[in-house]
Structure 1
């Protein structure tokens, strides 16, 4: 934790935000999205779920519909209803933290809405054309898997996900540059999620290429409970696990962020 705190205090800590953060404010689980795909395609949801993993089912949707427009509209509508973002302590702590850049694999707008609610400026970056908007001293929110304002940027189906993992897009080049001298902290990710583990693996390969130059970044992932198996596996990829002993994932993450963000200012 000492090196993590040092990176944070020196404004050299990049945050990577996963779906667990959005789940904390009551967004529907992925299961509901799969059920909606089945409904729109006139399948029984329980039967449809047996036909493949989420990426494959989303791929089938895109093939049948021609694009993900109707599904994106449903997600945008259902994921932005009746939530008072000021009530989310986790979002407040993220907004008020010393994070020069926040990367997120979430499509929803709640990180942006939280910044608006707390009066903190930011620049949203979801594609190559957004990169020119970057300004020194203004936080960047990088929508690493796309944004609802640009259907083509959304990484949802199998093809788009595999293309994303090639790590050859302008956003990947930006990530390499951002992590050249900064640490990375992952929050809101399930360590059992194969898609996220592929992201960890790809990042570790990218960082390994720098190791000979002595500039491999330090990275961390927060978990709400200890897991010695995952800790050992992640360690070989250069990712250090920070574990809590709290049974409630949301409360565990909140307390961790309070310690990190507010630890220096508490009496």
Structure 2
């Protein structure tokens, strides 16, 4: 949304309009987009029309991405692997704008193209270029709860041996909560929980309830005192970049 993408509410309203549904009769502001998307698939037989609409409306100009401080910071932080639940290509465009190589991973075939020298952009909930990969309707989410798809197996492998920073995930998303819990549970059962790499999650505003639950799962909550989520994230990433630059400079050999 920081570069003008529609909110999930806009998606809900579009599906309701196309299906001639009265939103107030199906939950109003509490309507669940996954359930409506499931109904959409049942009524129309496929998600092709919705995918096409989303692809048109989930795209922003290269100029907007180029001016996005958040996207610029993500690229400059040089993360080895980026997992995103977004379907759009804005991250890929940001890497292209800044002249950085990347490999997109949206299915099992893409996993074989991964190389250690290039940032991986893993489209965890699918990619517009592959309709079958999209995780959008309720059934799609339920099937992912088993966490045995190729991308789930890859995430477990990546997350077990690395420091993980979660950004932008809704803590009401049960898929994400279950994923975090299983990651903690795996380390706890291993008997080597004290050797687990640190994990963090950024939340725009402090939340003592979430902090307590996530701390139990071995995840440290980071936040900024800023009302606007986009501003909070930009401030956080800027501080992180400054700290990384300081550490890189101190580690560099004297000239």
Is the TM value for this pair above 0.5? yes
- Work out whether 1:247 is the aligned partner of 2:214: no
Bigger relative CO (Cα 8 Å, ≥ 6 apart): 1
Q: CA deviation at 1:247?
A: 1.6
Q: Provide the residue aligned with 1:43 in structure 2.
A: 21
Q: Provide the residue aligned with 2:33 in structure 1.
A: 54
Q: Deviations over 1:36-92 (max 9, x none)?
A: 111221223443444952221111111111111111111110011445201111100
* Inter-partner Cα distance in structure 2 for 1:180 and 1:199: 12
- Does the aligned pair in 2 maintain the 1:123–1:138 contact within 8 Å? yes
Give the number of equivalent residue pairs: 245
- Work out whether 1:104 is the aligned partner of 2:114: no
Structure 1 residues 170 and 210: CA distance shift in structure 2, 3 A: farther
- Work out whether 1:25 is the aligned partner of 2:9: no
- Work out whether 1:124 is the aligned partner of 2:104: yes
Structure 1 residues 81 and 244: CA distance shift in structure 2, 3 A: closer
- Work out whether 1:68 is the aligned partner of 2:47: yes
User: Greater Rg, structure 1 or structure 2?
Assistant: 2
In structure 2, list runs of 5 or more residues that go unmatched: 250-255
* Inter-partner Cα distance in structure 2 for 1:165 and 1:207: 19
- Does the aligned pair in 2 maintain the 1:210–1:216 contact within 8 Å? no
Q: Provide the residue aligned with 2:253 in structure 1.
A: none
- Does the aligned pair in 1 maintain the 2:11–2:33 contact within 8 Å? no
- Work out whether 1:137 is the aligned partner of 2:117: yes
Mean CA deviation greater in 25-34 or 210-219? 210-219
Structure 1 residues 183 and 92: CA distance shift in structure 2, 3 A: same
Q: CA deviation at 1:212?
A: 3.9
What pairs up with 1:1-267 in 2 under 5 angstroms? 23-50=1-28, 52-82=31-61, 84-212=64-192, 215-265=195-245
* Inter-partner Cα distance in structure 2 for 1:67 and 1:250: 34
- Does the aligned pair in 1 maintain the 2:145–2:175 contact within 8 Å? no
Name the TM-score, length of structure 1 as normaliser: 0.84
Q: CA deviation at 1:251?
A: 1.2
Name the TM-score, length of structure 2 as normaliser: 0.88
